[in-house]
Amino acid sequence: MADPLRIALAGLGTVGGGVIRLIESNGALIARRAGRPLEIVAVCARDRAKDRGVDLSRYAWEDDMTLLAERPDVDVVVELVGGADGPALALARRALGAGKGLVTANKAMIAHHGMELAELAEAEGAPLKFEAAVAGGVPVIKGLREGAAANVISRIYGILNGTCNYILSTMERTGRDFADVLAEAQALGYAEADPSFDIEGIDAAHKLAILAAIAFGSRLDFGAMHIAGISRIRAADIAQAAALGYVIRLIGIAETEGGETEGADGEAGGTGRLHQRVQPCLVPRAHPLAAVDGATNAVVAEGNFVGRLLFQGAGAGDGPTASAVVADLIDIARGDTGAPFSVPVAQLDTLDPADPGHRLGRAYMRLTVADRPGVLAEITAAMRDAGVSIESLIQQGRPEEGGEVLVAIVTHGGPERHVAAALKLLEGSASLAEPPLVMPLLG
């Protein structure tokens, strides 16, 4: 058998520990499939004394993780530390700059610095792989780069954050409110002590930006992403959605303009612009994403020859994430050093961001209004004046605390800029107790 692929592991937490356990437990099978063994030679974490439930005595230890990149006995550095910048980025630059392969699960770093790192990898002829950065154990990057490589992808969308999905599906099952379920998720370890990256949609946006670059062969553009999280969703929205035949999910969606959109001139047709957004959406109960519960991730890709592909599985956890990391290592052991984003960086398209106002669709709007005469007339007049056609309007019978009532509106299909114009007309109205919540209907 060929020489082993020699690995340095930075980060021995949830994922790093999983990688060691996976290589130890499936080493013989992996060696057969890779054509050579995977051998961890050196490791690094902050605290050398911490008990990690794995035997580290056979590996060299580095106190400074960037030194892993300098070791002559290392072929590939695995970065499992996290953080968009700081030590993880320093290590990544140093490893690739030294011509070593880099495998990472770090979506924040790839979303912000993926182009720079891919250029460096290409210049050095070094492999850069990040399957675990998107949807944990689900091989969606591989699926796009390899399985669907022959297709024009028109749209890619999915559930990319397990914490949000756990919270939303628990709210749906139990009828409880957001803050209550979030606190429970934190107590159970499903949500971080500071959950803002997850619940405000940033983590999902990191993953979506990576997927979009691969799916559309375009330069990664995290700054163009429109992001809204789930913290404003109430039990009443979930109940209202259920009554209409929908569930609420945080959906990341990237599509080229011309699909469910108008062209920039207001006419139907493609423009080569890209929509990228993460926001809660109403998903019809019959849609495959509606059945995705708990911490599961799922991604749908629509290709012009393959049709609709659904990738689904565990989006986090030591085992699933380690599975994706080690799959990347097996690829490298086999000699796969292809362009990290499928196409060399210099050949990636630069797609301008599309104006979200051109997107066509139906929307759910929740307005919290004062319980007094004339309010509904004011709202419907704003919709009429902005060109929004109302499909249904439901005012909940009983006033909430403070004499406020919830009004839920579902619109007929139309450009989103009409809905935005209606909200503009209502802005500052004394009838509204808080800014309206708007969620598109997926479909």
Ligand X SMILES: NC(=O)c1ccc[n+]([C@@H]2O[C@H](COP(=O)([O-])OP(=O)(O)OC[C@H]3O[C@@H](n4cnc5c(N)ncnc54)[C@H](OP(=O)(O)O)[C@@H]3O)[C@@H](O)[C@H]2O)c1
Residues 9-28 that bind ligand X (CB under 6 A): 11-16
Half-sphere exposure of 428 (CA within 13 A, CB side): 2
Our finding on whether 80 is near ligand X (CB under 6 A) is yes
Cα–Cα distance between 362 and 335 in angstroms, integer?
A: 48
- Nearer to ligand X by C-beta: 314 or 423? 314
Cα–Cα distance between 417 and 387 in angstroms, integer?
A: 10
> What's the CA angle centered on 263, arms 257 and 268, to 5 degrees?
100
Minimum CB separation from ligand X for residue 74, in Å?
Answer: 16
Residues 370-399 that bind ligand X (CB under 6 A): none
Minimum CB separation from ligand X for residue 48, in Å?
Answer: 8
Site for ligand X (CB under 6 A): which residue of 208, 316, 329, 382? 316
43-58 CB burial, b ≥16 within 10 A, e <16: bbbeeeeeeeeeebee
Site for ligand X (CB under 6 A): which residue of 19, 81, 214, 301? 81
| Number of residues this chain uses to bind ligand X (CB under 6 A) | 24
- Nearer to ligand X by C-beta: 262 or 318? 318
DSSP string, 222-273: GGG-EE--STT--HHHHHHHHHTTEEEEEEEEEEETTSSBB-TTSSBS--S-
Instruction: Please count the residues of the chain.
Output: 443
Stretches 99-107, 114-122, 302-310, 329-337: which one binds ligand X (CB under 6 A)? Answer: 99-107
- Cβ-closest position to ligand X: 13
Q: How many angstroms separate the most distant Cα atoms in the chain?
A: 82
Our finding on whether 44 is near ligand X (CB under 6 A) is yes
Minimum CB separation from ligand X for residue 336, in Å?
Answer: 21
Q: Are 438 and 364 in contact (CB under 8 A)?
A: yes
Site for ligand X (CB under 6 A): which residue of 33, 46, 285, 334? 46
Minimum CB separation from ligand X for residue 25, in Å?
Answer: 18
- Nearer to ligand X by C-beta: 241 or 316? 316
Cα–Cα distance between 207 and 197 in angstroms, integer?
A: 12
Site for ligand X (CB under 6 A): which residue of 7, 34, 87, 292? 87
Cα–Cα distance between 133 and 106 in angstroms, integer?
A: 5
Q: Are 43 and 9 in contact (CB under 8 A)?
A: yes
- Nearer to ligand X by C-beta: 10 or 343? 10
Q: Catalytic residues, which ones?
A: 207
Minimum CB separation from ligand X for residue 176, in Å?
Answer: 25
Our finding on whether 241 is near ligand X (CB under 6 A) is no
Minimum CB separation from ligand X for residue 375, in Å?
Answer: 45
Distance linking the first and last C-alpha atoms of the chain = 51
Our finding on whether 45 is near ligand X (CB under 6 A) is yes
Closest CA to 204 of 236, 252, 166, 171: 252
Stretches 22-30, 45-53, 210-218, 375-383: which one binds ligand X (CB under 6 A)? Answer: 45-53
Q: Are 436 and 367 in contact (CB under 8 A)?
A: yes
Minimum CB separation from ligand X for residue 267, in Å?
Answer: 42
- Nearer to ligand X by C-beta: 88 or 409? 88
Neighbours of 356 (CB within 10 A): 17
- Nearer to ligand X by C-beta: 106 or 240? 106
- Nearer to ligand X by C-beta: 324 or 426? 324
- Nearer to ligand X by C-beta: 77 or 375? 77
Site for ligand X (CB under 6 A): which residue of 28, 29, 47, 58? 47
Query: How large is the C-alpha radius of gyration of the chain?
Result: 24
Q: Please enumerate, as own/partner, the contacts of 174-180 that have beta carbons within 8 Å and a separation of 24 or more.
A: 175/235, 175/238, 175/239, 176/235, 177/234, 177/235, 178/230, 178/231, 178/233, 178/234, 178/235
Minimum CB separation from ligand X for residue 16, in Å?
Answer: 6
Residues 131-190 that bind ligand X (CB under 6 A): 132, 136
Kindly list the residues in this chain that would bind ligand X in the complex (CB under 6 A).
11-16, 44-47, 50, 65, 80-82, 87, 105-107, 132, 136, 316-317, 321
